[in-house]
Structure 1
Amino acid sequence: MQIIVDVGNTDAVFGLYNQTGWQNIWRTPARRDESAASYEARLRLWLLEANVLLSSIETTVLSSVVPDLTPTIRTMLAELFGLEPIVVGPGVYPLLPLEILRPHEIGADLVANALAAYTRYHQNCVVVDFGTALTFTTVSGEGKIIGVAIAPGLKTAIRSLFANTAQLPEVPIEVPSSALGTSTTHAIQAGVVLGYEGLVRSLLDRIRIELNGDCMAVATGGLSGRIPSLRDAFAEIIPSLTLDGVRLIGETVTDSIK
């Protein structure tokens, strides 16, 4: 069995995987001031509840876009399982069947998304990841990361309004019944949630134009299902796609050293 970890700016996601697929996926806030012992206690509890022995974990793989948390989670995994985790980063990218644009700049999560999409589809594909940031990672059918677009995520946009205005509240991410907001809450939801539908569709259209129309789209991320009217824009919505990519990176590295 494997423990796959994807540390983002908002949440750290832990996945338990075996040959039959994902057995459990756990999500916890990615707090930079939290100790390795605290994360270890939480992971121990999850595994205990899942009736999984520590000795059954054969591989751990870590992807992180939070430099302050990377050594914390890495140390925790190494000490808990007695295994040095595979860490996704430029050091392992040459082993992957990908041509990576600016490997020292691109986020590990975007590389994972690209590898998962390339492995799954083997055709031009843009992965739209609905997280702290809203990212569009386009990979060709030949395994080249063609480019990336990044915008603030849904929650990030709403929190920015709340943090930077005196009278606007933080509101839940819900699709309003109308673009004509009749309350402050509905007005923000109309502007952000409905506005993001237009943003996503517009960028997908622009990407397809630049690729002569040849590009499918898939969605992932914790908020990937929060705008139901966008479902027809994607061939699939796969919340675990980033974890799949991190797992595939780990398996590629493991295979290369056997």
Structure 2
Amino acid sequence: MLLAIDIGNSNVVCGLSENNHWTEQFRIHTVANKTSDEYEVIYRTLLQSRNIDLKQINKIVLSSVVPSLIFPIKEMIKKLFGQDPLILGPDLYPRLSIKIHNPYEIGTDLVANAVAAHNKYKGNCIVVDFGTALTFTAIKSDGDLLGVSIAPGLKTAMASLSRNTAKLPNVDISIPPSCIGKNTTHALQAGVVMGYKGLVQYLLQEITRELNGKTTVIATGGLSGIMLPIIDTFDHHEPMLTLDGLKIIGNQFYK
């Protein structure tokens, strides 16, 4: 059984795969100052509540965009499972199916996304990841990861408005009834959600033009489901894409 752990800025997302199929998924809030002992209690409780035998987990793959959490999570894994995880990073990149130009700059979650997209769809791909940051990762059909565009995520943008203005609240991210807000909540949703529709569509148009060929566009990330009804340029919705990439990498390196 393979355990994939993706440490993001907002959540730590985990998946259990058996016979190459996801059997369990769970997520917890990212807390950068938690200790390995605290994470051990959380993971032991989560796995035992699902009747998972810890001894059956023999492959563990870790990706993190929060450097301070790599060590405590690694220590938690050693205590709980008696093994070191495979940690996705620049040392592994030369052996992956994709080529990376800036290995020490790119987030490991984006690398996992690219591996999964290239493995599944082969041709030119753009992965749009709706997370704490909104990212667009461009992959050529030969596996060349050309680069990334990054914007603030929807919640990040909304929280920034609330934090930096005296009278604007932090409201839910949802589709407003109109682009002309009749109250503060709808006004914020119109500006952020509908504004981001335009941002996403324009960047996809320009990145597709630069890729110069038929391109598959994939949406992923925790907030992707909110935008799907109002953006018709996505070919696929892959909510497990990052974990899929980690699973592919884990199966390759644990052979």
TM-score range relative to shorter protein:
over 0.9
Q: Which residue of 1 aligns with 2:200?
A: 200
Mapped pair 1:60 → 2:60: yes
| Deviation larger for 117-126 or 229-238 | 229-238
Structure 2 residue aligned with 1:167: 167
Matched, 1:30 2:27: no
Paired residue type of 1:194: M
Amino acid at match of 2:86: I
- Give ranges in structure 1 of 5+ residues lacking alignment: none
Could you tell me how far 1:214 is from its partner in structure 2?
2.2
Q: Give RMSD over aligned pairs.
A: 1.1
Aligned match of 1:83:
83
1:1-258 superposed matches below 5 A = 1-255=1-255
SS state at 2:232 partner: helix
Cα displacement (A) at 1:228: 3.4
Q: Is the 8 A contact 2:99 2:143 kept in 1?
A: yes
> Partner of 2:149: helix, strand, or coil?
strand
Deviation at 1:231, TM superposition (A): 4.8
> 2: CA distance between counterparts of 1:126 and 1:228?
15
**2:253 is aligned with what amino acid?**
V
Q: Stretches of 4+ moved more than 6 A in 1?
A: none
Q: Secondary structure at the match of 1:226?
A: helix
SS in 1 for 2:68: coil
Query: Take 2:10 and 2:189, find their aligned partners in 1: how far apart are those partners?
Result: 21
Distance in 2, matches of 1:15 and 1:231, equals 28
The aligned amino acid for 1:118 is: H
Identity over aligned pairs, percent = 48
Distance 1:240 1:85, change over 3 A: same
CA contact (8 A) 1:95 1:252 kept: no
Distance 1:120 1:197 in 2: 26
* Ranges in structure 2 where 5+ consecutive residues have no aligned partner: none
Counterparts of 1:226 and 1:182 in 2: how far apart (Å)?
A: 21
SS of residue paired to 1:225: helix
Distance in 1 of aligned mates of 2:157 and 2:213: 30
Distance 2:134 2:170 in 1: 19
